[in-house]
Structure 1
Amino acid sequence: MTQEQMGIVIGGLLPALFFGVAGVCQKWSNQHGISTGAYLVSIGVGVVLVGAVLWAINTDQKFSSAAIVPAVGMGIAWGIGVVLVAIGISKYGAPISQLAPLYNMNTLVTVVIALVVFSEWKDVNLVKLTIGALFIILGGVLVSS
């Protein structure tokens, strides 16, 4: 397996599996009436546990405000998104099977920002990217209708 293929498995396929399990856990937790604050704190405990294990086994520790500030921003944005999904499930009874394809259209937001901020438009096939984006949009519309 090439390094690029390994990167796709580790950075794409395995996270898809774990994020899928996370969506099921999200529905399960919200069905039991957890408040959104307690829900986020509980998720935070899980994230801290994973971070503590990685911190303990990783000998190459790097910290800088230039790296920490966007990481905290990521946590804030992610936390707000998770709370909104939880509200959709617990207050409005939205099925996770319809929500997941919709909120996973976040890939389109990430792609657009990355194309501009990181100049990734120089390194991608824009035709394939556009076709893939259209499929994502069509899939979200199909599942939510």
Structure 2
Amino acid sequence: MSRKKSKTTRFGEEPQAPNAFGALDALGKLPEGPEDPGPSVVAKTSGRGQKNTQRGRVDIVRQTAHRGGKAVTIVKNFTGIGLSEKQELAKKMRKACGVGGTVKDGCIEIQGDKREEVKRILTDAGFNPVFSGG
């Protein structure tokens, strides 16, 4: 039978960790950082600081093929938009529609026929949504 080893603790003492920034003091005077870092991503605004409302046309398609008869809303033909922003838009759409969805092959897929809700979100984001297909 094994015994549990008792842990010895010292009251009033904290474990001493090496100071990671201690070596920086020996370097002397270091240059100052930037004064105003500002926003790191300015993709949603135009050059004058106004919201960009001309981000291009996107197609909204309702599809049922290969899905067991269930409808899926697909948003495709994004231009000049990265994967992270597509995932952000998909998250907003999922939350507003109350359904699941994903980003596959550069397209946003939302479960169910939610074309009107998706159109409203894309219009707010500055896109020009167009219904196409069935």
TM-score, structure 1 length as denominator?
0.20
Larger Rg: 2
Bigger proportion of residues as strand: 2
- Greater relative contact order (Cα < 8 A, sep 6+): 1
Bigger proportion of residues as helix: 1
